[in-house]
């Protein structure tokens, strides 16, 4: 079956370092992936989209890569700040318009 | 601009009761979605709609029903509440994925449902 998986272990890093989160997919080839941020008790907020023909996409301190050979997207936050602490989710749009999310990775940035 | 509005924000149900979670969006989006999120878990798609009069099942549709009679509204119906339906429910909407668009989802604030 088609799956999208994120590292379920929380990621703890020091302020100023680069956080790297992983999204792996199996048994399909998404045309694009989306990344969202979710704060406790809130709905997710869209951050960035990368299409299959874009190897890399940048937006301010965010950088996303899309490797169709490895079936993987990497999400980087450079110069991380405590305010970046949240859960980050990747998502892909399947047939018919449905949007499927990974389980999310919790990021904690310590001062 | 209200965006996506969900009601109620909190609700406690007894086993076997029925209720409807309301969702309204004012962005003229044609796509709408219902997700549930259990503690510490990701979002699971319950039902979605690509336009008025069109709905389809997601990953976990059992125990739920939806309708989409207008572009703005997408209510989620729980017919016989069970403890397994205790969760936070999120409604979302988006434009369809166009060549230049991101197809990003806009989410409501969530409805926290407890079934006892």
CATH number of the domain to which A77 belongs: 2.60.40.10
CA distance A69 to chain B (A): 23
Query: Which residues of chain B have a CB within 8 Å of the CB of A104?
Result: 41-42
CA distance B58 to chain A (A): 7
Q: Using one digit for the tens of pLDDT, what is the confidence trace for B32-77?
A: 999 999 988 889 999 999 999 999 999 999 999 999 999 999 999 9
List of domains in chain B: 4-115 (2.60.40.10)
Q: Is residue A66 part of a domain?
A: yes
Q: Using one digit for the tens of pLDDT, what is the confidence trace for B70-115?
A: 999 999 999 899 999 999 999 999 987 664 567 889 999 999 999 9
- Tell me whether A29 touches chain B (CB under 8 Å): no
Nearest to B90 among A43, A49, A103 (CB): A43
pLDDT for residue B98: 63
Q: Is residue A48 part of a domain?
A: no
* Spatial CB neighbours of B62, under 8 Å, sequence gap ≥ 6: none
Q: Is residue A35 part of a domain?
A: yes
Confidence of residue A92 (pLDDT cuts 50, 70, 90): confident
Q: Is residue A71 part of a domain?
A: yes
pLDDT for residue A55: 86
SS3 readout for A23-64? EEEECCCCCEEEEEEECCCCCCEEEEEEECCCCEEEECCEEE
Q: Is residue A46 part of a domain?
A: no
Q: Is residue A61 part of a domain?
A: yes
CA distance B16 to chain A (A): 27
Q: Is residue A92 part of a domain?
A: yes
A–B interface: beta-carbon pairs under 8 A: 65
Region of A47 (left: φ > 0; alpha: ψ -120 to 50; beta: rest) is: alpha
Q: Do residues A77 and A62 lie in contact, with contact meaning Cβ atoms separated by under 8 Å?
A: yes
- Tell me whether A101 touches chain B (CB under 8 Å): yes
Please give the tally of structural domains in chain A.
Answer: 1
CA distance A20 to chain B (A): 19
Cα B77 → chain centroid:
9
Interface test with A, best of B3, B25, B33, B42 (most A CBs within 10 A): B42
Region of A70 (left: φ > 0; alpha: ψ -120 to 50; beta: rest) is: alpha
Q: Which domain holds residue A68?
A: 3-41+53-110
């Amino acid at each position: 079956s088609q799956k999208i998986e994120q590292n379920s272990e929380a990621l703890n890093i020091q302020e100023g370092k680069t956080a790297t989160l992983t999204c792996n997919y199996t048994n399909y080839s998404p045309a694009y992936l989306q990344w969202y941020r979710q704060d406790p008790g809130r709905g997710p907020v869209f951050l960035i989209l990368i299409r299959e023909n874009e190897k890399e996409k940048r937006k301010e301190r965010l950088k996303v890569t899309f490797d169709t050979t490895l079936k993987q997207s990497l999400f980087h936050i450079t110069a991380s700040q405590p305010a970046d602490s949240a859960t980050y989710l990747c998502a892909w749009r399947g047939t018919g318009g449905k949007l499927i999310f990974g389980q999310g990775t919790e990021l904690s940035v310590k001062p | 601009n209200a965006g996506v509005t969900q009601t109620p924000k909190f609700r406690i149900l007894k086993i076997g009761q029925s209720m409807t979670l309301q969702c309204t969006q004012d962005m003229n989006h044609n796509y709408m979605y219902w997700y549930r999120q259990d503690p510490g878990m990701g979002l699971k798609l319950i039902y979605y709609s690509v336009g008025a009069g069109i709905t389809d099942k997601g990953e976990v549709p059992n125990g739920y029903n939806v309708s989409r009679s207008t572009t703005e509204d997408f209510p989620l119906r729980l017919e016989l509440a069970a403890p397994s339906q205790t969760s936070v429910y999120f409604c979302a909407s988006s434009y369809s994925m166009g060549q230049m668009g991101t197809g990003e989802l806009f989410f409501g604030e969530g409805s926290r449902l407890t079934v006892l």
